[in-house]
Structure 1
Amino acid sequence: MSLFKIIRENKYDKFINEFSEKDLTLTDSQKYNLLMVSIFEGAKEISFFLIDKGIDLNYQDKKGQTVLHHLAIYYDKHILIKILGNDIDINISDNYGNQALWSAVFNDKGFGKRTEMVKLLIDYGADPNHINNVNKSPIEISQIAGYKEVYKIMSESIS
């Protein structure tokens, strides 16, 4: 059974038994690595295990997105904090020029669902003024879209 299937079934013990260090570089057909898939599937124990084993936190999938970009969608505070405590480049841009902060702002959707993530990313050095490939920054998008809570966090961070 593939490790990706084991993750999708969220079978931690089976994953541990089947896993070897060489598996840290495995990717699926979408070029998602094991950590990304464990986050998609809510397999939190497996996510922590992979982080502890030293999976590449700066790895980019075929869209250029890192695990931080994916956490903007599949948010988990505990995984985010664990990742931020490791060697990660918080300012990697995807194929569209979006960094993780932009993804977090976009996925907030004005409901305050990603305020904690936005604050943490800024605390760790994310740039609210970073311009993507269509000349929009996270702070600009939040203002245009009326995402008041995340806009306030970002504007206070640069004043």
Structure 2
Amino acid sequence: MKKANKNTKKISTKENNKNNIFIIFFIIFIFLTVFVYIFYNKKINSIANINEVDSSGLTIVMKALLNENNQLSINDIKKLIRDNRKNIDYKIRDSESKTLLMYAVYNGDTEIIKDIAEYGNQLNEIDNNGRTALHWAVYYNKYDAVVALIELGAKDFIKDNYSLTPIDIAQYEGYEDIYKYLSNL
């Protein structure tokens, strides 16, 4: 039989278990660190993408509000805005200087209009044609949007670059309900 060297130390099972526990905790720590890093980067990228503009200056939210192919339900659009409301840059304008609120009136949903007005406060901002969201609501014949904007404090006396107020547009286009509403203010 071979004799054990007096200088070698036998590792106890307790020390072995401590080392194994340390290694397990270290692996868990590394895994969690990588997971948090990936999650954080995905979150940052989604924030950046919500405000990314295409060649026309349209953001994802603006495109959703246009809903040109009727691919989105109103609930999908509301969810998109609700889930991203703190990350949306409400100051972004398209190539014609239209605001997000102007796109909201095109859509016509009063909840969306109120939500965007609350967070973006763009009621009386004008585009390249001098038109406000109220001008566009009248132009698109969106009666409920007109009422919502007036209730939120939109000014009905602002003239566009053609010296037209919203009531002038309603009269010219023959939108009697909107004309009556605006003339009774």
Aligned counterpart for 1:86 among listed residues 119, 123, 142:
119
Matched residues, number = 136
CA RMSD of aligned residues (A): 2.1
Aligned counterpart for 1:103 among listed residues 131, 136, 141:
136
Which residue pairs with 2:168 in the alignment? 140
Which residue pairs with 2:158 in the alignment? 130
Structure 2 Cα separation of the partners of residues 59 and 155 of structure 1: 32
- TM score, norm. by length of structure 1: 0.75
Residue 74 (structure 2) pairs with residue 35 (structure 1): no
Contact 1:122 1:128 in 2 (8 A): yes
Q: Which has the higher contact order (CA 8 A, sep 6+)?
A: 1
- State the AA in 2 paired with 1:126: A
Structure 1 Cα separation of the partners of residues 44 and 66 of structure 2: 20
Structure 1 Cα separation of the partners of residues 169 and 53 of structure 2: 32
Give the match's secondary structure for 1:85: helix
Unaligned 5+ residue runs, structure 1? 1-15, 109-113
- State the AA in 1 paired with 2:80: I
Give the match's secondary structure for 1:73: helix
- Which one has a bigger Cα radius of gyration? 2
Give the match's secondary structure for 2:184: helix
Aligned counterpart for 2:106 among listed residues 50, 55, 73:
73
- State the AA in 2 paired with 1:123: E
The alpha-carbon distance between structure 1 residues 23 and 142, as it changes in their structure 2 partners (threshold 3 A), is: same
Q: Deviations over 1:38-74 (max 9, x none)?
A: 22233412122222x3312232111110112112322
Contact 2:108 2:144 in 1 (8 A): no
- State the AA in 2 paired with 1:144: Y
Give the match's secondary structure for 2:116: helix
- State the AA in 2 paired with 1:37: K
- TM score, norm. by length of structure 2: 0.65
Deviates more, 1:126-135 or 1:81-90: 81-90
- State the AA in 2 paired with 1:23: N
The alpha-carbon distance between structure 1 residues 29 and 87, as it changes in their structure 2 partners (threshold 3 A), is: closer
Structure 1 Cα separation of the partners of residues 50 and 133 of structure 2: 22
- State the AA in 2 paired with 1:31: G
Kindly report which structure 2 residues correspond to 1:52-67, keeping only aligned pairs within 5 A, or say none: 53-67=86-100
Contact 1:39 1:47 in 2 (8 A): no
Q: Percent identical across equivalent pairs? A: 26
Deviates more, 1:143-152 or 1:87-96: 143-152
- The Cα of 1:18 is off from its aligned counterpart by 8.7
Structure 2 Cα separation of the partners of residues 67 and 155 of structure 1: 27
Unaligned 5+ residue runs, structure 2? 1-41
Which residue pairs with 1:9 in the alignment? none
